[in-house]
Structure 1
Amino acid sequence: MSLSAAAPASEPADTLCFVIVSTCPDAWGGSEELWRGAALHLAQAGHAVHIFKTHVQATHPRIQELRAAGCTLTDLLAWPRPTVLARLSHRVLPARWWPQPLETEQLLSSALQQLQPHLTLFSQGGNLDGVALAQPCAQQGHPYALVVQKATEIFLVYDEGRQAMQQVYQAAQHCFFVSRHNLELTQCQLGQRLPRASVVSNPFNVPFAGELPAPPAEAGYQLACVARLDILDKGQDLLLHVLARPHWRERPLHITFFGSGPQRQGLVEMADFLEVSGQVSFAGQVADVPGIWRTHHALVLASRYEGLPLAMVEAMLCGRPTIAAPAGGIAELLIDDVTGFLAAAPTVDALDEALERAWARRADWPQLGAQAAHHARASVPPDPALDFGRQLLQLAHSLTSISQAISA
């Protein structure tokens, strides 16, 4: 089935019902912005949208926004009571590895039986974490789609769960990925082609047009690393090791780490141990993304695993070049020596080499940033969430038409 975001199908008078299931284990995560934007557009168009996620915080601005738009939200872990295994796992395992309690799957399966949605969307932070929740849909014939925000080479489902994962992906009406790399890697991990799959963009938090002027550089060059403080994926430790090399200690270069995460204190202490504390700072989570780029000259990322980092899209739209390793879909958007500098791999040596090339051309950063902005606007849509909502609506319409034709 071919999906087009540019031309939505004509809307029938009846209201369609959508269910969105988010596997994000946090109160809110960047992987949820795409489905959130689509949900708002669908609800505002008069369709019923029912959202199921873990750790629903009633006071969170995103949750309040969705409820104000008419969406219903159900916390998958609030009722029934999570199993003892799940409660213990919350204490000893990183959030990404929390098992979904059996009651969670039962609650969702029961809700789907009652709601009978025209389409259910499972939004996954990776490409494995929604399989258990989507399996009842695959087995019972409920129409559903998957969206994958990241795929990593080091994770491969165990053989005992392999058939279930293959079944869930093959039975999906459509599989959405945020980068071509993630799509191709998932197919390789499945050992199967996904004929009903496409690449979508995530929404961004900066204006689509109008890059920012470059800040002055008399006091030195400011790089921003905008990423969750979690080195397994984001690799901030690699940047600290690069800065610890003698030639970087002598240069007026500073890296500000923006973002929150479970390893902030570990990174602060690592910077102290490597004696680079004067070359870095930790600014925490910042809502004003354009404000970052008013005071920083370029983005630097050392990610080991990615989907397609929103931070890079935002930096490019603001007119800033990127220095990054080719994790996930980064190399699909970053053109080496044109819109930034691409390291050969997420290693200290490779990042050092790319940063050295960038430093040699620091006078050209404003020109590279302008090219980055032009390239980003040619590569991503102005309103990715609206496009995604239209694609979900088109898919639901197509499934409804097929069902009606079969019934007739």
Structure 2
Amino acid sequence: MKSSSTASPLRIAFISSCDGDWGGSEELWAGTALALAQAGHHVQGFKTNVTSHPRLQALRAAGCPVTELAPAVPVRYRIANRLLPVSRQFTSQKMGFDLLRQHLRAFRPDVVLVSQGSNYDGCAFANLCRQEGLAYALLSQKAPHSTAPHAHERTVAQQVFQAARRAFFVSRHNLELTQLQLGVALPAAEVVWNPYNVAFQGELPWPAATDGALRLACVARLFLSDKGQDILLQVLAQDKWRQRKLHLTLYGAGPDEEIIRGMISFLGLENTVCLGGHVADVAQVWSTHHALILPSRYEGLPLALVEAMLSGRPTIASDAGGIIELLVDNETGFVASGITFLALDEALERSWAKRASWAQMGAEAARQARAVVPADTLELLAHKLLQIVHEERAAAGPGVA
């Protein structure tokens, strides 16, 4: 990271409300935290469901502690709960908030980034920062149409977003949908980019089709309610697709892996579809696959889309989240008009009819991606956070450190 406009090390906190083991939505905060720690700043992390994931291990190795925000309730408290009314019982959530409050008061960060898997799941953490008088920014990785807050939750969400020094979103779609759901303008909102795991100049040679089959890769968490793999499997179960030389690999891990395996077996797709698991080296995927397919129901702006395009591969995708902010229909891929069986089938049919042009479309995808996607997304977000501190100190006047 390049030197910042602040002369001395800053105190920066990162709070992740993502409750899974790990996911692509955590790469941006964790990578930015690591970059800032390696630049000499004092960084602390807080997360629900802390694991031994390599990203968290790297943070600890850089001197950045990561505190669990969903601690187990001790036995003595569970026993006490039997005698207490529900409102006074000890819960993991209450204990996590108390722990976070204690750490924030002791650390007194110059700025806090609250990273959300969606657009409201971290609002309670951000509200705590607001109540403590801390400068904070929100990062929203997704904005589903189905999760608009109601009543009191909506009021708190409005307050939290309007008090944030910045409200970061990973797509324009998510930003605009959140404003609509809240019914307020967010002048401090802006779009940032997630980090990607391929080279910026990473366009790969076109794979040989040794068996004559075109190979699709669906690179997504195995989580049906968001990623929609069930829709894709139903499309491929049609006789017309069974008769074509087309193979699908479902890459990724997630809670619905066994359900998806059962679907593949139930539909008799064992010769057409396989699971590839989690692959750390994404270039391996695109060295053997010809196109990305994303049947997503909900998205921010998929990391898999950016990586496929930079690797020189076209994409077939549903019109979810910010996908069409990067993917151009019939130029760099094929966009389904809706998130339905018929819409995905129609887009896949169009792609099949133009399969001779896939390599050319992939080359155009790489060119367009490099014209839009930043070369260093982590450094950009790090500097945005440092800029917040600079603005806070400028507003407070001289002599404030």
Residue 226 (structure 1) shift: 0.4
- For 1:239 and 1:258, the matched residues in 2 are separated by 14
Could you report, residue by residue, the CA deviation over 1:23-58 in whole angstroms, capped at 9, with x for unpaired residues?
Answer: 11123221111011111221122111011112223x
Query: Where in structure 2 are the equivalents of 1:5-404 lying within 5 Å?
Result: 10-57=4-51, 59-78=52-71, 81=74, 101-219=93-211, 220-404=213-397
Note the C-alpha offset of 1:407.
6.7
2:240 counterpart letter in structure 1: H
C-alpha spacing 1:278/1:81, structure 2 compared with 1 (3 Å): same
The answer (yes or no) to whether the contact 1:151–1:182 under 8 Å persists in 2 is: yes
Identical aligned residues as a percent: 52
Is 1:54–1:75's contact at 8 Å kept on the other side of the alignment?
yes
Give 1:206's aligned amino acid.
V
TM-score (ref. length: structure 2): 0.92
Counterpart Cα distance in 2 of 1:142 and 1:81 = 30
Say whether the 8 Å CA contact 2:317–2:344 is kept in structure 1: yes
- Give the aligned CA root-mean-square deviation in angstroms: 2.1
Shift of 1:218: 4.5
Deviation string, structure 1 residues 334-371 (Cα, Å, up to 9, x no partner): 00010000110111100111000100111110100000
AA partner of residue 376 (structure 1) = A
Contact 1:9–1:397 (Cα < 8 Å) also in 2 = no
User: Matched residues in 1 for 2:257 and 2:184: separation?
Assistant: 39
TM-superposition CA deviations, 1:237-280 (whole Å, max 9, x none): 00111011121111000110000111111111112222222110
Residue 327 of structure 1, CA deviation: 0.3
Q: 1:209 to 1:400 in 2, by over 3 A?
A: same
- Structure 1 residue identity aligned to 2:396: S
Structure 1 contact 37–386 (Cα < 8 Å) conserved = no
Query: Which has the higher mean CA deviation after the structures are superposed, 343-352 or 158-167?
Result: 158-167
When the two structures are aligned, how many residues end up with a matched partner? 388
C-alpha change, 1:10 and 1:255, in structure 2 (3 Å) is: closer
Task: Quickly say closer, same or farther: Cα 1:401–1:79, change in 2 above 3 A.
Answer: farther
- How far apart in 2 are the matches of 1:294 and 1:145? 38
Structure 1 unmatched runs, 5+ = 88-98
CA distance in 1, matches of 2:95, 2:125: 11
Letter in 1 for 2:21: A
Between stretches 188-197 and 67-76, larger displacement belongs to: 67-76
Aligned AA (1:30): G
- Using the alignment, how far apart are the partners of 2:325 and 2:198 within structure 1? 20
Deviation at 1:304, TM superposition (A): 0.3
Structure 2 CA distance for aligned equivalents of residues 366 and 126 of structure 1: 34
SS in 2 for 1:109: helix
- Over residues 149-200 of structure 1, what are the superposed CA-to-partner deviations in whole Å (9 max), with x where a residue is unaligned? 0010011112131111111111101000000000001101111010001000
Q: What's the secondary structure of 1:67's corresponding residue?
A: helix
Residue type at the aligned position of 1:38: T
Equivalent position of 2:87 in the other structure: none
For 1:159 and 1:364, the matched residues in 2 are separated by 51
Of the structure 1 ranges 187-196 and 276-285, higher mean CA displacement relative to structure 2 is found in 276-285
Answer whether contact 1:118 1:400 (CA < 8 A) is retained: no
Give 5+ residue unaligned stretches, structure 2: 82-90
Q: Residues 73 and 92 of structure 2 are in contact (CA less than 8 Å); yes or no, is this contact kept in structure 1?
A: no
Hey, what's the Cα distance between the residues in 2 that align with 1:168 and 1:102? 19
Q: In the superposition, relative to structure 1, how do residues 359 and 43 fare at CA in structure 2: closer, same or farther (>3 Å)?
A: same
Give the whole-Å Cα distance in 1 for the aligned partners of 2:284 and 2:3.
38
Greater relative contact order (Cα < 8 A, sep 6+): 1
Preserved contact between residue 286 and residue 308 of structure 2 (Cα < 8 Å)? yes
